[in-house]
Structure 1
Amino acid sequence: MTIETSRPRPARRLASWLGLTPFALYVLIFLAIPTLLAVLSGLFDAQGHVTTANIAALFAPDILKTFVSSFWVSALTAIVGAIVGALVCYALLGTKPQGTLRSMVDSAASVLAQFGGVMLAFAFIATIGIQGVVTAFLTGLGINIFANGVWLYQVPGLLLPYIYFQVPLMIITFMPALEGLKPQWAEANATLGGTRLTYWVRIAGPVLAPSFLGSLLLLFANAFSSYATAAALISQGAQIVPLQIRAALISETVLGRSNMAGALALGMIVIMVVLMWGYSALQARTTRWQQ
């Protein structure tokens, strides 16, 4: 005897689509339309004529320098954040999933991953700035590590604040992958005479690699698109791409061209699309063994 599954009625199907209307409107109004306007603005000059001069200006030395600065800051903070976050996740495996320590770490990671902007910049200025608490304390001990606090207001000064929110983000994104490791795999490895090193190199490592690389791409994209913290710390100059876009918006021309902000936004969007595509592909591969 076969049981036929009835298809949803048109009214029910219409109701399910209508349930997505608020989210679709949000994406359209606050994401799709601003992105489209930003990109299209870079294809027109001051007189409204179509031009590719702004796109060609992306390869100018000053613009390329900002992209290089954004790349190395994002890459370094993503690698450090991924390694430190993965080690924290590994340490948490030995705790109870519903225990107090795990709950505290999860809660702290959720909050700190969103802690950025002016608040984070002020926290670092008040801590390790020229007149920061830690700076004054160490200077009193004869340790002048942070005495020259000017570095905090340059591109290298973004490293510590970025790592501050990169590590919690890694904990949030990578912990589910570690929890998805099945105990049967470790038992099978031990039964066959494998060591702990064998388990991590030949079993857990290859299984976790897509998730780790996906989280690494997510951290890179998070740092690459961060603006508020950098804008609060670096008030002079435009050393990274988001700050270069700010400079293009508040000034009439950049490199002698109008609407340069749209071209810069297009460059960032292309990079972000590639990163998110890679992240989605890696996440899809990770879900194969998690199911």
Structure 2
Amino acid sequence: MTATLTRADVAPAASPKRRRRAPGWLAVLPLLVFTAVAFGLPAGAMLNGAFTVEDPATGATSYTTGNLTASLQGAYLTALLGSVKLSAVSAALAAVLGLPLAQAVVTSRFPALREAVFTASGVLANFGGVPLAFAFVATLGNAGVLTRHLGLGGTGWDLYSFWGLVLVYLYFLIPLMVLTITPALDGLRAQWREAAQNNGATTVQYWRHVALPVLLPSLLGGLVLLFGSSFAAYATAAAMVGSSVPLVTLQIADAISGNVLVGQENVALALSLDMVLVAGLVMAVYLPLQRRSARWLA
């Protein structure tokens, strides 16, 4: 006798309960909160202050573009252009000097030398501020050790000048360039050099027609990174040159502290907004260059 099974007799297997997985954004929520507090609030305060002016008689505040207009005139404009000039010259020199140094390290047959240079570059790239200024003042200042022993005072050498500040900036920009360009140099394939040599190309021709075109996005990206690093530097220049070299970071400090004029805090915020805009332009150039170099060297 064959038993007939009805649909009711065949009970569906109980499916296990699916575990509800937390949304992925919860994992980055602490980082988002920290970013909003550490960067969002200061940025909002800067924007609000840059477009706000207070009436000294009534204390009433109103929104205007007067602060931005003032930040692009007179001594403030001179300081902004001075920072751009200093950053551009320092970044260009650091890129020119850092590239052959990085190439020498990459092609070295001594792993210990490579590790030593990278370790020293990592330390020196982050060494700045007042300690760096004091080290150069004690070494190459008016009464510095090398200044007296080499007789630099009679040659017109002046550490507390534009070119003196460039020399100090190179101390941490060249190691930063070494760290930045080394991954790109490691990405140059040995087959490219061998192919160029098999076709009769010299070393100069290889670098001109093969290596440099491939490295160009990384070189420009490193140049932009060096520019941004020197553009935002403050403590070293403040401790060394004071107001003898016009820089926008020093002007911001003077406006906030009231060293020159009282009540210019909002102009200082406008100057900070100018710096943010310049940094934004720098990053707008840097990020596409990094993506392009990554495609070539992948």
TM-score, shorter chain, exceeding 0.5:
yes
Pair 1:144-2:150 in alignment = no
Query: Which secondary structure state, in structure 1, belongs to the residue aligned with residue 62 of structure 2?
Result: coil
What letter corresponds to residue 186 of structure 1 in structure 2?
A: R
Pair 1:111-2:123 in alignment = yes
Superposed displacement of residue 258, structure 1: 5.0
Pair 1:64-2:77 in alignment = yes
CA contact (8 A) 2:243 2:250 kept: no
- Structure number with greater Rg is 2
**Residue 162 (structure 1) aligns with:** 169
CA contact (8 A) 2:102 2:182 kept: yes
What letter corresponds to residue 137 of structure 1 in structure 2?
A: H
Residue-pair matches, total: 275
CA contact (8 A) 2:162 2:245 kept: no
Tell me how far apart the structure 2 counterparts of residues 157 and 48 of structure 1 sit (CA, whole Å). 43
> 1:230-245 residue pairs with structure 2 within 5 A?
230-236=237-243, 239-245=246-252
> 1:163-202 residue pairs with structure 2 within 5 A?
163-202=170-209
Percent sequence identity over matched residues? 37
Tell me how far apart the structure 2 counterparts of residues 133 and 177 of structure 1 sit (CA, whole Å). 39
Superposed displacement of residue 182, structure 1: 1.0
CA contact (8 A) 1:135 1:146 kept: no
**Residue 215 (structure 2) aligns with:** 208
CA contact (8 A) 2:139 2:146 kept: yes
**Residue 11 (structure 1) aligns with:** 21
Query: Which secondary structure state, in structure 2, belongs to the residue aligned with residue 45 of structure 1?
Result: strand
- Alpha carbons of structure 1 residues 193 and 136: separation in structure 2 relative to 1, 3 Å: closer
What letter corresponds to residue 86 of structure 1 in structure 2?
A: L
Q: TM-score, normalised by structure 1?
A: 0.87
- Alpha carbons of structure 1 residues 59 and 93: separation in structure 2 relative to 1, 3 Å: same
Tell me how far apart the structure 2 counterparts of residues 254 and 51 of structure 1 sit (CA, whole Å). 20
**Residue 282 (structure 2) aligns with:** 275
Superposed displacement of residue 32, structure 1: 2.5
**Residue 246 (structure 1) aligns with:** 253
Superposed displacement of residue 34, structure 1: 1.2
Question: After the TM superposition, which segments of 4 or more aligned residues of structure 1 sit over 4 Å from their partners?
Answer: 145-148, 252-258
CA contact (8 A) 1:245 1:265 kept: yes
Pair 1:39-2:47 in alignment = yes
- The worse-fitting range, judged by mean Cα deviation, of 57-66 and 171-180 is 57-66
- How large is the Cα RMSD of the aligned pairs? 2.2
What letter corresponds to residue 70 of structure 1 in structure 2?
A: S
Pair 1:83-2:83 in alignment = no
Q: Deviations over 1:259-290 (max 9, x none)?
A: 10111011000000000110101001101112
Tell me how far apart the structure 1 counterparts of residues 33 and 138 of structure 2 sit (CA, whole Å). 41
CA contact (8 A) 1:42 1:55 kept: yes
Query: Which secondary structure state, in structure 2, belongs to the residue aligned with residue 28 of structure 1?
Result: helix
CA contact (8 A) 2:106 2:114 kept: no
Tell me how far apart the structure 2 counterparts of residues 153 and 183 of structure 1 sit (CA, whole Å). 46
Q: Deviations over 1:213-252 (max 9, x none)?
A: 1100110111111111111113346710001110111118
Superposed displacement of residue 130, structure 1: 1.8
> 1:219-238 residue pairs with structure 2 within 5 A?
219-236=226-243
CA contact (8 A) 2:137 2:144 kept: yes
CA contact (8 A) 1:248 1:254 kept: yes
CA contact (8 A) 1:153 1:233 kept: yes
What letter corresponds to residue 26 of structure 1 in structure 2?
A: F
**Residue 288 (structure 1) aligns with:** 295
